Amino acid sequence: MQRDAQRFANLASSGAETVSRAENKIAEAQQAEAVVKEAQSKIKLAKLNLEATKAGLQLEGTRTLSYPETRVLELDVELTDLKQQERNLSKEIQSIQSQLSITSKELLLQQNVLVIAPTTGVIWSIDSKSQEIVEANKSIIQLLNCQNLWVEAFINETDASKLVVGQEAQINLNNSSHVQWKGRVETIRAGTGRFEVGQYVVEPPPEITRRQLPVRVAAVRIKVDWPKTSRFDDFCLAGRSVNVRFIESKSSPF
């Protein structure tokens, strides 16, 4: 193309070809030369990129990674995630082990519990069953304190008005006249059988609570001078029936 353009230029100068035709041919030749140079430049760049790709390099455009490089990065990220999961699981395992240790100690305490009574006495009743889960502040057993026993007598309210606190009394065990104690009136409470008896008050006989008696009675609590040595095999006589005789008081004879 460049030779044709030069030939047209020579013909135009000699008058064998028109000038306009020669200029067109020259312009076409220059354009063709520019296209060729551009193509050669692209080929050269393509060859360089090819060599760079073989060498693991990139000369132009956004940096892209080869598959091995991309895979390495993916595995590195995955490894980091797994290490974090390992740390989290390690903390969780430590927490579970701590809870297991505490639970094991609690279970051991539940299996072997030493109950220390606040006072010396005898077991009166067992309120909790074997293998039962006992809640806090729930009663397990009721302990009878043999050093804190009393006699509660139920008498006619009319006769109770003749008694005074501190008055002496003589107590005899039923069917055993030789078993005898001395005591003093501690409290006098009227209205027995007309209202519900509290937990810490000795319940009156059933016929009184059912109001089958023709008279109203009063509950007289007597503090007894018990012997120092108590027998635990008979529950310190708790619940036994006795006969009470009040000693005549100077201020109020009875």
Closest residue by Cα to residue 125 from 204, 239, 223, 227: 239
Q: Please give the full DSSP string across 22-63, using - where no structure is assigned.
A: HHHHHHHHHHHHHHHHHHHHHHHHHHHHHHHHHTT---SSS-
What is the structure's pLDDT at 10? 55
Q: Domain 146-246, what architecture?
A: Beta Barrel (2.40)
Report residues of the chain scoring pLDDT below 50: 1-2, 5, 8, 11-12, 14-17, 57-59, 195, 197, 199, 253-254
What is the structure's pLDDT at 248? 80
Give the DSSP letter of residue 80. Answer: H
Helices 2-14 and 19-54, packing angle to 10 deg: 160
Q: What residue ranges of the chain are covered by domains with CATH 2.40.30?
A: 146-246
What is the structure's pLDDT at 116? 82
What is the structure's pLDDT at 184? 93
Please list, in sequence order, all residues whose beta carbon lies within 8 angstroms of the beta carbon of residue 52, skipping any fewer than 6 positions away.
Answer: 58, 59
What is the structure's pLDDT at 55? 57
**68-97 residue pLDDT tens:** 666 667 777 777 888 888 888 888 888 888
Give SS3 for 3.
helix
Please list, in sequence order, all residues whose beta carbon lies within 8 angstroms of the beta carbon of residue 194, skipping any fewer than 6 positions away.
Answer: 211, 216
Separation between Cα atoms, residue 130 and residue 127, nearest integer Å: 10
